[in-house]
């Protein structure tokens, strides 16, 4: 293929996959032909669980985000100063990203968010069925980010929401006993056997919520996927669960609006630096898998805007402080420092300039308006403005 | 086949990582559930401490007795009761803390001592009744040791919290009347009483809506029920009726949400009446120096840094991830009780509950003007740090020494096999004999140090490969080559 043929192909519908294969050859400024707004799709990935810039984009070697930094960032625009302006806690950030407004200042996450979500706005505007909007969220505290209490919206236009399975407390206690006994033996082999047994218990005794599914089609999809997971033997990672099922959903329903909200990075609360950075590394890999799927699946290729952003950061390392372990007291905002408030957003998609970095402050709430503008729609009145024009 | 062997090797590597029962995280809704992560390996959390145990289960400041000196001896030993031959076992660290304690007063002083153990404490594999390997001697004679389990700690907190709550209610006649009216309405007419109580708490007493909702449920529930299954106590409750009573008391219907949330519920309410007097589990954990940060001493630099622990790839991930439903779906609850439990879970604030802690309790008597030797000995497995060169580590909490008005020098002696590289987080010297009560073992070498700064934690480490070679393992390169089938 000569250069002319290559550029011609790259500007067409198949640009994504080809550009992926030729990654590095295109460089900055990659702009495929725009697709009709009504045929576009939006994927929002919450690089979640609280991730500091110091372990991601500010790390000189980007050790924990190799996929994102080396393969994805050159293809997109990176906003390096996204701001978390209200409470630094996962559901609030997630809800705010989905609506464009700062949500849940009252911390009552059992209620839907107050403003129309990207899912509802899309479905109502386009008359789309429930299977056009999906949210894969890491815990039930995010389950109400798929619907709002706003007038004219609500369950009738809500996203299908998938949460990972949960286990009964009795199982958790049984797992504790097994792991404790194995640890007391001092035998690595015994501990591995116990871990395997616990993983089996975690699968076989698990239950999964169906409350977030809006139709028989959605419920049927989840039943099949969950059965497969229960009979599997791989990792019990919930973020991996979300990824597998989000990709399956992309293949099955090809939703127009998809959110994948990761959370296992939040294991940092337990004090292990290794687990924290390992979770970032895994999230990097899982994010990359979603992106690859969006590049490879015909329903998404060349017509999808992918927004990747952490929900919030974590505290800076200071003498006497908790550092990476916590992300402020969100009841009082004590400890909500720059480590908590500054995150980033990577945007990849048709019309988005590659390799660009934008350092001006942008609230994380801008994600909603940006995604909706790409779809040819508008966020609700008062929502943070779109930054789509800055990516071109 | 080679790939399978490599996967198996990765598995072995992942196995060599530590256990942590990361017990809870964010659970705000009934089904929010804690985020649980467990993984195999050694536990960095078990750390020795000597302090007076106050009635609130926290370490108390001691101003009458004086610790003249402490000899701290740590010996890295092989496990003696290995049933199956394994070459990758961690060292079993035998820790002996010997305190010379003086009573300079003219009064006899009998004191309760507390000694927290978290994870990783050694349990003899052939014991009839599995108990942690902890021994206490006063002037060479063993003294009885109570093990206050995590469940018993929770139970004690609940008991104390209920006393504070009930006293607080009784001290306010208007509140007391409203609580009584609600609790007397068993089936009908409850809603107005609930609303009236909530209104009084928020408007007259200035409580937040969530805390008011919690007290409404407290007044609505029967905590005397005993027919619900309780959290299963672990090793430390065997045969101890008093501990069992403590561990299972003040639960009633709350057994359906588990001891942890039940305890948080009562401690939270007690805090509304007496902010200082009420002690939640997390405060006790912190007071004993509980710090969830996993740290290690670096073998090469001697500096303290975050522990590194590799647990394998996604393909061989031995880590367990789960979210737990607090509310027992099988609990035999009335519709009303279930609604109350759900309301409690919804209105409890998010807390970060750290590792389960058990307290060793013993009592010693000090006659006027006397000096006695109190010796606490325990064993625990060293925990692995996977930064190359790999190490086995042990942590010891020094901070409680600051709780004593007089606490003399701490003399540290660590014995490790010759040819095993050693590091400590304090300056040390290599010698041939120990200053403590335990003579240096044949084939071992001693490292000694004087601890001047009695804050924070002490870390000691040995090189993992040296250790395995000293225990008769083949060199790692040979082992890895064999595993890889090359």
ipTM, 2 dp: 0.80
Higher pLDDT, A314 or B396: A314
The encoded tokens of residue B453 equal 């700064």
H or E segment at A362? Answer: strand A362-363
Distance of alpha carbon B304 from alpha carbon B289, whole angstroms: 17
The torsion angles phi and psi of B305, rounded to 5 degrees, stand at -145, 170
H or E segment at A258? Answer: strand A257-261
A286 touches chain B (CB under 8 A): no
pLDDT score of A332 more than 80: yes
Is residue B120 a contact partner of residue B383, using CB atoms and an 8 Å limit? yes
Is residue A35 a contact partner of residue A298, using CB atoms and an 8 Å limit? no
Show the DSSP H helices in A137-187 as ranges. 169-185
Pairing state between β A304-309 and A41-46: parallel
Residues of A in contact with B85 (CB under 8 A): none
Distance of alpha carbon B299 from alpha carbon B420, whole angstroms: 11
- Domains in chain B: ranges and CATH: 48-140+356-479 (2.60.40), 150-294+328-347 (no CATH)
Residues of B in contact with A195 (CB under 8 A): 15, 38-40, 318-320
CA angle B142, B145, B146 (to 5 degrees): 170
Distance of alpha carbon A159 from alpha carbon A149, whole angstroms: 13
Which of 394-423 (B) contact A at CB < 8 A?
Answer: none
Pairing state between β B410-417 and B371-381: unpaired
Residue A130 distance to chain B (closest CA, Å): 24
Alpha carbon dihedral B425, B427, B433, B435, in 10-degree steps, equals: -90
Q: What is the DSSP letter of B204?
A: I
pLDDT average, residue stretch B276-297:
76
pLDDT score of B70 more than 50: yes
Higher pLDDT, A372 or B30: A372
Distance of alpha carbon B188 from alpha carbon B186, whole angstroms: 6
> Most B CBs within 10 Å: which of A191, A237, A284, as the mutation test of the B interface?
A191
Alpha carbon distances (Å) from A120 to A36, A305, A308: 20, 18, 20
What's the longest Cα–Cα distance across chain B?
82
Nearest chain B residue to A278 by CA distance is: B310
Sorted by where each begins, the domain ranges of chain A are: 39-75+89-166+206-304
Lowest mean per-residue pLDDT among A162-176, B88-102, B149-163, B353-367: B353-367
Residue A188 distance to chain B (closest CA, Å): 5
DSSP letters spanning B3-47: HHHHHHHHHHHHHTSPP--B------STTT--EEEE--S--S---
Which of 112-141 (A) contact B at CB < 8 A?
Answer: 139-141
Lowest mean per-residue pLDDT among A123-137, A232-246, A280-294: A232-246
**Residues whose CB is less than 8 angstroms from the CB of residue B305 and which lie 6 or more positions away in sequence, other chains included:** B295, B296, B297, B298
Q: What is the percentage of chain B residues whose pLDDT exceeds 70?
A: 74
Angle between helices A188-204 and B2-15 (to 10 degrees): 100
The per-residue pLDDT for A227 is 95
Alpha carbon distances (Å) from A191 to A175, A285, B463: 12, 27, 22
Record: contact A238-B349, CB cut-off 8 A = no
Nearest chain A residue to B312 by CA distance is: A278
Interior/surface letters B168-188, b for 16+ CB within 10 angstroms, e for the rest: bbeeeeebeebbebbeebeee
The per-residue pLDDT for A351 is 92
Q: Which CATH number is associated with domain A39-75+89-166+206-304? A: 3.40.720.10
B285 touches chain A (CB under 8 A): no
In tens, the pLDDT along B443-482 reads 899 999 998 877 778 899 999 999 999 887 655 555 445 4
- Which of the four pLDDT bands, split at 50, 70 and 90, describes residue A339? very high
Residues of B in contact with A320 (CB under 8 A): none
pLDDT average, residue stretch B275-291:
73
Residues of B in contact with A183 (CB under 8 A): 19, 40-43, 119-120, 381
Residue B392 distance to chain A (closest CA, Å): 13
For residue B456, is it left (φ>0), alpha (ψ between -120 and 50) or beta? Answer: left
Nearest chain A residue to B352 by CA distance is: A269
Residues of B in contact with A167 (CB under 8 A): 322-325
């Amino acid at each position: 293929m000569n250069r002319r043929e290559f550029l011609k192909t790259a500007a067409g519908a198949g640009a994504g996959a080809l550009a992926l294969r030729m990654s590095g050859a295109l460089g900055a400024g990659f702009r495929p032909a725009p697709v009709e707004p009504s045929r576009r799709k939006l994927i929002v990935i919450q690089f979640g669980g609280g991730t500091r810039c110091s372990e991601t984009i500010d790390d000189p070697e980007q050790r924990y985000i190799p996929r994102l930094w080396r393969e994805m960032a050159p293809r997109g625009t990176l906003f390096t100063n996204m701001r978390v302006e209200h409470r630094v806690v996962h559901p609030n950030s997630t809800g705010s990203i989905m609506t464009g407004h700062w949500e849940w200042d009252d911390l009552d996450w059992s209620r839907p968010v107050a403003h129309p979500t990207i899912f509802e706005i899309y479905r109502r505007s386009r008359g789309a069925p429930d299977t056009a909007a999906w949210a894969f969220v890491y815990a039930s505290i995010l389950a109400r980010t798929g619907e709002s209490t706003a007038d004219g919206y609500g369950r009738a236009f809500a996203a299908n929401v998938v949460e990972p399975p949960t286990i009964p407390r009795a199982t958790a206690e049984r797992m504790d006993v097994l792991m404790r006994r194995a640890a007391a033996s001092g035998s690595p082999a015994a501990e591995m056997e116990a871990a395997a047994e616990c993983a089996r218990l975690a699968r076989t005794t698990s239950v999964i919520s169906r409350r977030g599914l809006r139709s028989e089609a959605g419920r049927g999809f989840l039943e099949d996927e969950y059965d497969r997971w229960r009979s599997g033997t791989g990792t019990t990672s919930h973020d991996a669960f979300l990824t597998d099922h989000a990709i399956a959903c992309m293949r099955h329903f090809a939703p127009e609006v998809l959110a994948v909200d990761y959370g296992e990075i939040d294991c940092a609360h337990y004090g292990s630096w290794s687990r924290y950075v390992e979770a970032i590394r895994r999230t990097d890999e899982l994010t990359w898998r979603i992106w690859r799927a969006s590049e490879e699946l015909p329903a998404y290729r060349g017509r999808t805007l992918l927004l990747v952003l952490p929900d919030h950061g974590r505290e800076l390392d200071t003498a006497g402080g908790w550092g990476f372990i916590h992300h402020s007291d969100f009841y009082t905002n004590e400890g909500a420092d720059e480590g908590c408030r500054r995150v980033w957003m990577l945007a990849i998609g048709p019309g988005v300039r590659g390799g660009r970095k934008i350092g001006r402050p942008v609230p994380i709430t801008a994600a909603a308006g940006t995604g909706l503008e790409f779809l040819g729609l508008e966020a609700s009145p008062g929502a943070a403005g779109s930054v789509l024009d800055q990516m071109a | 086949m080679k790939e399978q062997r490599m996967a198996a090797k990765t598995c072995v590597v992942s196995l060599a990582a530590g256990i942590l029962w990361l017990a809870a995280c964010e659970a705000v809704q009934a089904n929010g559930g804690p985020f649980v992560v467990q993984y195999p390996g050694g536990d960095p959390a078990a750390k020795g401490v000597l302090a007076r145990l106050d009635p609130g289960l926290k370490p108390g400041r001691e101003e009458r007795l004086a610790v003249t000196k402490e000899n701290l001896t740590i010996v890295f030993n092989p496990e003696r009761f290995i049933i199956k031959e394994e070459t990758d076992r961690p060292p079993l660290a035998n820790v002996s803390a010997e305190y010379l304690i003086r009573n300079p007063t003219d009064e006899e002083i009998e004191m309760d001592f507390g000694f927290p153990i978290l994870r990783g404490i050694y349990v003899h594999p052939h014991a009839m009744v599995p108990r942690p390997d902890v021994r206490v001697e006063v002037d060479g004679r063993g003294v009885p040791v109570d093990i206050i389990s995590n469940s018993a700690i929770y139970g004690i907190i609940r008991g104390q919290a209920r006393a504070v709550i009930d006293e607080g209610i009784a001290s306010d006649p208007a509140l007391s009347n409203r609580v009584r009216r609600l609790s007397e309405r068993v089936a009908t007419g409850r809603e107005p009483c609930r609303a009236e109580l909530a209104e009084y708490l928020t408007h007259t007493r200035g409580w937040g809506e969530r805390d008011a909702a919690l007290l409404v449920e407290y007044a609505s529930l029967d905590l005397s029920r005993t027919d619900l299954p309780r959290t299963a106590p672990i090793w430390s409750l065997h045969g101890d009726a008093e501990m069992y009573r403590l561990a299972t008391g003040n639960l009633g219907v709350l057994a359906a949400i588990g001891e942890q949330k039940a305890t948080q519920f009562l401690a939270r309410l007690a805090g509304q009446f007496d902010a200082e007097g009420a002690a939640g589990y997390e405060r006790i954990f912190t007071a004993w120096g509980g710090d969830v940060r996993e740290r290690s001493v670096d073998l090469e630099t001697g500096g303290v840094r975050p522990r590194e622990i590799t647990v394998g790839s996604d393909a061989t991930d031995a880590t367990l991830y789960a979210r737990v439903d607090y509310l027992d779906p099988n609990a035999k609850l009335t519709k009303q009780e279930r609604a109350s439990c759900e309301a409690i879970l919804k209105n409890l604030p998010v807390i970060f509950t750290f590792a389960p802690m058990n307290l060793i309790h013993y009592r010693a008597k000090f006659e006027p003007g006397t000096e006695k030797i109190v010796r606490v000995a325990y064993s625990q497995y060293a925990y692995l740090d996977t930064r190359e060169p790999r190490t086995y580590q042990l942590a010891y909490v020094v901070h409680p020494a600051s709780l004593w008005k007089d606490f003399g020098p701490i003399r540290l002696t660590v014995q490790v096999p010759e040819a095993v590289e050693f590091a400590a987080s304090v300056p040390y010297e290599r010698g041939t004999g120990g200053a403590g009560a335990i003579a240096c073992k044949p084939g071992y070498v001693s490292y000694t140090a004087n601890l001047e700064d009695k804050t924070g934690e002490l870390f000691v480490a040995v090189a993992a490969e040296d250790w395995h070679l000293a225990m008769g393992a083949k060199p790692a390169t040979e082992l890895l080559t064999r595993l890889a089938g090359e």
